[in-house]
Amino acid sequence: MFTNKIKWKLWLRWGAILALACLLALADHFSAFSHIKRWTTHATVIGAKSVSRLGGAISSIFDNFSGKAAQETKRLKRELIACKIELEELKYFKDENTRLKAVLDFSSDINNKPVVFANIIRVCEFLTSNNIYIDKGRENGLGEEDVVVGESGVVGMIESVGSQWSKVKKVTNMDFYVSVCFSPSGISAILKGNGNGRLRIYLKENDNATKIPPGQTAVTNGYDKVFPSGILVGQVTDNEQITPSCGNNPMGIVCVISHRITDIKK
């Protein structure tokens, strides 16, 4: 019996030692697990930060590229607009050159007279008074009774002059007169503006009673010593009324033929 007691005591002692060893092993295991967990968490945080930095770097590169691309696009758009403007200017100057050539080709007499080119800046029509204004005047050597011709024919005559502008009475003005020759009949006459957009025959050469048929053209003959010969004035319609070739609202560039210019200011 004594021997059995000793055995039980030994078993209990070894059991306690074994239990303690198990507890120590479990404690070490949980401690290692805790370290692993902390290391994993730390690694996860570091990885997240690295991914975030990488994403930020990629985003920065993309934003930088997008910004440069947008700037390049704006630059190309500005250059395209500048090219379009330059192209329009070249087209305008080409058209202007064509119009100027058309003006000078009306009559060979024009080439023997001093001329000034001007722009029509205003058209005024009031009852029987029809006038236009141009952007050249006394400073350019212009004066009263200078002849104004457009690409389609006679426009009028300067009535008054300012330093940098001139008032022109149109061919349809009631106090406008011009000597013409009708083609193909060859009949000469003096035309007068009637104030309503047309001209009428004021006086025929030698009181010719021959009626001018519709369709004939009136061209300056130079008899009045004011208008050079060979410039189109208009076309005969019904009742010997003449429709002006320049139209009722001439616009654009005109040629002023001056009788007194000796030194045209540029």
Q: Can you give the pLDDT of all 266 residues of the chain as single tens digits?
A: 545 556 555 666 666 666 656 655 555 555 544 554 555 555 555 655 555 666 566 667 766 767 777 788 888 888 888 888 888 777 766 666 666 665 555 544 555 667 888 888 888 776 556 788 999 999 988 989 899 988 888 999 999 999 999 999 989 888 899 999 999 988 899 999 988 888 998 888 776 777 888 999 999 998 888 888 888 999 998 888 999 988 766 677 888 887 654 433 33
Instruction: Provide the domain limits for residue 34.
Output: 1-104
Number of folded domains that form the chain: 2
Q: Which two tokens stand for residue 61?
A: 């590169």
Q: Is residue 251 classed as helix, strand or coil in its secondary structure? A: coil
pTM: 0.58
Residues 6+ apart with CB under 8 A from 35: none
Q: Indicate the burial class of 153 (C-beta count within 10 angstroms; 0-12, 13-18, 19 or more).
A: buried
Q: Is residue 12 a part of any domain in this protein?
A: yes
Q: Is residue 158 a part of any domain in this protein?
A: yes
Is the same domain home to 82 and 118?
Answer: no
Q: How far is CA 260 from CA 49, 114, 141, 210, in A?
A: 90, 8, 7, 38
Residues 6+ apart with CB under 8 A from 199: 171, 172, 176, 178, 191, 192, 193, 218, 233, 234, 241, 242, 244
Computed over its alpha carbons, how large is the radius of gyration of the chain? 50
Q: Which amino acid is at 103?
A: V
Q: Is residue 195 a part of any domain in this protein?
A: yes
CATH number at residue 231: 2.40.10.340
Strands 115-126 and 153-161: unpaired
Is the same domain home to 152 and 37?
Answer: no
Q: How far apart are CA 69 and CA 82, in angstroms?
A: 20
Is the same domain home to 16 and 47?
Answer: yes
